[in-house]
Amino acid sequence: MDAATATLPRTSGSVDRLVRLAEADMKGVNALITDRMQSDVPIIPALAEHLIAAGGKRLRPLLTVAAARLAASDGAGSENDHCLKLAAAVEFIHTATLLHDDVVDGSQLRRGKVAAHLIWGAAQSVLVGDFLFARAFELMVETNSMKALEILARASRVIAEGEVLQLMRSHDLNLSQAVYLEIIQAKTAELFAAASEAGAVSAGVDAAKAQALKAYGLNLGLAFQLVDDALDYGGTTEALGKNAGDDFREGKATLPLLLAIARSGPREAEFWERAIGRREQTEADFRRARELIVGTGALDATLDLAADYADKAKAALAIFPANDWRGALEDLADFAVSRRT
Amino acid sequence: MDAATATLPRTSGSVDRLVRLAEADMKGVNALITDRMQSDVPIIPALAEHLIAAGGKRLRPLLTVAAARLAASDGAGSENDHCLKLAAAVEFIHTATLLHDDVVDGSQLRRGKVAAHLIWGAAQSVLVGDFLFARAFELMVETNSMKALEILARASRVIAEGEVLQLMRSHDLNLSQAVYLEIIQAKTAELFAAASEAGAVSAGVDAAKAQALKAYGLNLGLAFQLVDDALDYGGTTEALGKNAGDDFREGKATLPLLLAIARSGPREAEFWERAIGRREQTEADFRRARELIVGTGALDATLDLAADYADKAKAALAIFPANDWRGALEDLADFAVSRRT
């Protein structure tokens, strides 16, 4: 089977509409981020800036802002700027987890730049992560929303549990799909869910609408992580992203790999055992793994599952009136699956 | 000068009265600690238990409970059990910082046991620290006190700043006393202060009394850390504690050392430069350093400063009626200075 034609067509989508709608709000969020990462200890803003200025899509704070604005748009909630502080807090929590993750995994690169711990040392990365985590809670306190604090404290705890679980199980080639999904829900989707729910709560909507936005975030997060894991094997294109192959080289048990192993014949068992189990890899191994992942349908199955979650995310928004914010979040769900990088 | 007679007499004191008064409350705190360190990921309670069960004096949660009970004892505040949850949260924050510190410093021992990161790995220690930190905030949310959250979020942030500052400056033999005090305030005294203030706030006292208990905690924390740093050079006895000499071997710029270096003659400059600056140490060097620290009066000056802070701590309590809780906190301040281990 040819890799380029092996996959189903995916609904296209884009993050552009959301970015445009949230432009003014995100300016406010970015100003808060810059302001609150300052410290009298100069290494702290320097290290934080290295990672935060490198960008990333700022998806999580975007979700907080969009959830708040959509929640307020139907007249039930109220328009206020608490969501900006919560969005900045969400980005700080995310940045703190990235700093700690990179220490934990010994990663070399983050957002295309040398990982902070390789410049400032692991100790400083751990401590600046702690600083940002605490700052996130200081920002939340300023919004005076105990419910938002509850949501984001819980998410922070679940993320840590997910990271520990991943560290213990991530090289287990017999990992079940259920445990894989548990891990990506904890380490990725919970923060997407919390970011959305906290935004909704800050607008003062009723529980049903807050739950709808939480469900949107959770399913979007699962879709995003599944596609990330697929893109690490090149996704549906032959043009591999700059980090493609990282999971394979680390022998990380992600769904495309787990499905391919389960679907491979006895002839391939030895290959997987050597390349992943013992991590004795040659140059040609990644290409062979990719061929098996495409050939067994493991890549398509992963992307199909992502598309299911994206559909669930969109369906959760049905409780809201059809307007620009809802449309932008629907586009984002499509983008989660259709993106090529 | 003989080391055993070199020092001023210190007021004796004890933690016993406080431990006795708070016994029932601390049972509740310990039950909460055990309950909330549980997780579906079994390595988390195992690692947390290793450190938490090793004990320590539980001084910080004791302060939270005592501050709440003293605040309520004059009739202005209210008796309730929020302080137990805040006390457990304070212990979790403290435990999280210990886990991260031991990774950062590469420490071998903690509370007389092998450091957790040497058993479970640095990665798990970092992540379980994150878990406990998040759990602390979940506990605080349950008390529904935004003020307590504000106090402890701020303290957590200041601790991280103090740790970063210490990491940058701790081997600087020209460190000023002012910066040394800034570091120990941030890394130790702020949590003592926050633990006390949060307890007071949970009892609903007025701002003046909450500030008084904050001042008590801050000054107590400074006294404790100064005495810790003195005890690392054997304090006033020849019977050295089991960790005595650690700071010297690490070349850590604590006040006894900084004062001794400043007060040494040119003949000793070379010794300090070799043993601390370049950390080329022989077996005999610690004894020589201790002789200089005692002989120059650096040890006494450190303990005198600690005694001043302990006096300030006691003076801050004058706003409260003389009762058992106040007496127990006064005893604790004396104990901070008189203790031998």
- Which tokens go with A84? 């900006």
Helix (H) or strand (E) holding B113: strand B113-114
What mean pLDDT is predicted for residues B277-287?
89
Q: What is the pLDDT of residue B9?
A: 47
Q: Are B157 and A134 within 8 A, CB to CB?
A: yes
pLDDT at B7 exceeding the cut of 60: no
Tokens 């379980």, located at residue: B128
What mean pLDDT is predicted for residues B205-215?
95
pLDDT at B304 exceeding the cut of 80: yes
pLDDT for A67-109, tens place per residue? 999 999 876 666 789 999 999 999 999 999 999 988 887 777 7
Cα separation, B205 vs B74, whole angstroms: 10
Q: Which stretch, A111-120, B62-71, B267-276, has highest mean pLDDT? A: B62-71
Which residue, among A264, A262, A230, has the nearest Cα to A247 in the 3D structure? Answer: A230
| Chain A / chain B CB contacts < 8 angstroms | 130
A141, A154, A156: residue with CB nearest B150:
A141
Strand, coil or helix: what is B109? strand
Residue of B nearest to A140 (CA): B150
DSSP letter (8 states) at residue B11: -
Residue of A nearest to B129 (CA): A160
Helix (H) or strand (E) holding A82: helix A82-105
Residue of A nearest to B128 (CA): A160
What mean pLDDT is predicted for residues A235-249?
69
Q: Are B127 and A103 within 8 A, CB to CB?
A: no
Mean pLDDT of chain A: 90
- CA distances A337 to A223, A252, A322, B50, Å, are 7, 21, 22, 43
Confidence of residue B234 (pLDDT cuts 50, 70, 90): confident
pLDDT at A222 exceeding the cut of 90: yes
Q: Best of B161, B191, B201 to disrupt the A interface by mutation (most A CBs within 10 Å)?
A: B161
Residue of B nearest to A99 (CA): B126
What mean pLDDT is predicted for residues A185-203?
97
What percentage of chain B reaches a pLDDT higher than 70? Answer: 93
- Which tokens go with B310? 């302990």
| Position with higher pLDDT, A105 vs A217 | A217
- CA distances B43 to A148, B97, B119, B144, Å, are 29, 18, 11, 30
Residue of B nearest to A154 (CA): B138
Q: Are B138 and A123 within 8 A, CB to CB?
A: no
Q: What is the pLDDT of residue B163?
A: 93
What percentage of chain A reaches a pLDDT higher than 70? Answer: 93
- The CATH-assigned architecture of domain B3-338 is Orthogonal Bundle (1.10)
Instruction: Tell me the one-letter amino acid at B243.
Output: N
Residue of A nearest to B106 (CA): A123
DSSP H helices, chain B, are 16-21, 23-36, 43-52, 59-73, 82-105, 116-120, 122-143, 146-169, 177-184, 190-202, 207-231, 246-250, 255-263, 266-272, 285-295, 298-316, 324-338
Cβ atoms of residues A230 and A299 within 8 Å:
yes
State whether the Cα torsion B163-A156-A60-A235 is positive or negative: positive
B40, B126, B137: residue with CB nearest A126:
B126
Strand, coil or helix: what is B174? coil
Cα separation, B26 vs B37, whole angstroms: 16
Q: Best of A41, A138, A169 to disrupt the B interface by mutation (most B CBs within 10 Å)?
A: A41
Mean pLDDT of chain B: 90
What percentage of chain A reaches a pLDDT higher than 90? Answer: 67
pLDDT at A4 exceeding the cut of 70: no
Contacts of A97 in chain B (CB under 8 A): 130
pLDDT at B148 exceeding the cut of 80: yes
Question: How many Å lie between the alpha carbon of B85 and the closest alpha carbon of chain A?
Answer: 15
Q: What is the pLDDT of residue A40?
A: 93
A41, A122, A157: residue with CB nearest B134:
A157
Q: Are A40 and B161 within 8 A, CB to CB?
A: yes
Confidence of residue A3 (pLDDT cuts 50, 70, 90): very low
Residue of B nearest to A169 (CA): B41
pLDDT for A125-150, tens place per residue? 999 999 999 999 999 999 999 999 99
B134, B144, B160: residue with CB nearest A127:
B160
Cα separation, A331 vs A338, whole angstroms: 10
Chain centroid offset of residue A329 CA: 15
What mean pLDDT is predicted for residues B95-100?
94
A39, A156, A161: residue with CB nearest B161:
A39
Contacts of B167 in chain A (CB under 8 A): 123-124, 127
Confidence of residue A179 (pLDDT cuts 50, 70, 90): very high
A123, A140, A154: residue with CB nearest B138:
A154
Q: Are B157 and A141 within 8 A, CB to CB?
A: no
Cα separation, A134 vs A278, whole angstroms: 40
| Spans of all domains in chain B | 3-338
DSSP letter (8 states) at residue A16: H
pLDDT for B49-96, tens place per residue? 888 887 778 999 999 999 999 999 876 666 789 999 999 999 999 999
| Position with higher pLDDT, A104 vs B233 | B233
Question: How many Å lie between the alpha carbon of B135 and the closest alpha carbon of chain A?
Answer: 6
Tell me whether residue A266 is exposed, middle or buried, using C-beta atoms within 10 angstroms of its C-beta: 0 to 12, 13 to 18, 19 or more: exposed
- CA distances B216 to B56, B135, B196, B201, B316, Å, are 21, 27, 8, 14, 6
What mean pLDDT is predicted for residues B30-48?
93
What mean pLDDT is predicted for residues A257-282?
90
pLDDT at B239 exceeding the cut of 70: no
Q: What is the pLDDT of residue A10?
A: 54
Q: What is the ipTM of this complex?
A: 0.92
Q: What is the pLDDT of residue B135?
A: 98
